[in-house]
Structure 1
Amino acid sequence: MIAYLLDPNNWAGSGGIPVLVGQHLVYTAVALLIAGVIGVPAGLYVGHTGRGVVVIAGFANALRALPTLGLIVLLVMIVAPLIASDLAFVIPSIIVLVLLAIPPIMTNTYAGIRAVDAAAVDAAVGMGYRPLKVLFSVQVPCALPLIISGFRGATLQVISTATIAAYVSLGGLGRLIIDGRAQNDYDKMLVGALLVAILALVVDLLLALASRVFVSPGLDRRTSRIPLRVRRAAVPAS
């Protein structure tokens, strides 16, 4: 494994480690962006209005139960006859990663909004704030620790699962694992797995630092006092 990492040939060209890491990050970023556009508004609506709690819980649990590898193969079989380009493989991969990222983002957003101190909301209403101003001026800032926690959980899951893109002939660090298995090159497989783990840890650390920058220390400490039933709702199922 050390010899593989020290070989300059493995760091150059279109199949080099830097290129594969970049592709892996692109898949992850696109999936998280789309999942955020879907999951955050849904979580905000349900958390603010209290409507659709059963629906959002059932939807999140259903998405968590989806078999990612089987789903990506099925989607490729459906999309490939319609698109004669690499998009026939990219689109199914992104869809699967988005479906994987939505539950933690959506449930954490909902849980964060519901956990906001009712006294703060009542004070804002008493000052004449309209519902949307209450949501974005009071509830969302107070819910930021849990919302960011949802993105951290989603990021870890997406980075670790994005290796399946290589299963349908795309790039990313999964290329090292898939190609290593085909070539019986276990050093290559181990390097791929190690780099995925390191990448996940580095990105998670960066998100943790971002949380310290954007979240008030007082709010961050208050997450430890959120009711247990609310915190359980925000924890992704294993």
Structure 2
Amino acid sequence: MIKYFFFILYFLFKSFILYSNILEKNVVNKDSLLNRLRLTSIVTPTYYKSYSELNINDFELNYGVIFKYKFSKRLSLISGLIDSKKSITIIYPENYRDPIDPTSSTILISRYGKVIYKEIPLLINYNVMTKRNWSMSGIIGITSEFYFSTISETKTFKTTYNNGIIIYGQYSNDFYKSSINKKLFNISFGFSNDYSIFNKLGISLDFILNYGLNKINSDIKNSNILSFEIRTGIFIQ
């Protein structure tokens, strides 16, 4: 009877040791996975350009959060969410004008507004150089942008009637939401610089060029957007 008791006790002890080892390995694996993940809060000065009637030629200050998952010492996957604003001045084709009083001599030449997207990058990051606390990587991938809202300015115009009387008025609109493309896709490439300040904290500086694969406005030719981003951020890993 005592023999069986010690046998059961020994079996339980070995089972506990085995379970502890498995649990410890799982914790280590979990920690290693967490160590591969990096979170970066970024501010992104961005220059937009489009060679079309949209006349996009402006700087905007965007911001967001970037996640970076490390598969190996050289290869990483980058994704996240960035608030993206595109300032647009439309040079009117005939069908884009608002109705105007037929007695008026006013000609609406352009209108200004912003189209706001939420940008989701999916990029491959390849480390090409590491020196102490500094590293440089090449970046390539696809950036998707999803329509969020539009902002248009209300502007004052001057109307001159044929009899010489001058009056002032205002116009505003929803910036042609129906013609704005709700999804944009860009091919993105550039390079990244990371500098570790402490063990888990550092700063990043990325230079990324994006080229729009589709048009921001389906009714206007050549409204693909070219943009250049300088992503500056603080990361925790």
* TM-score with structure 2 setting the length: 0.25
Larger fraction in helix: 1
**Bigger Cα Rg:** 2
* TM-score with structure 1 setting the length: 0.25
Q: Structure with the greater relative contact order (CA < 8 A, sep ≥ 6): 1 or 2?
A: 1
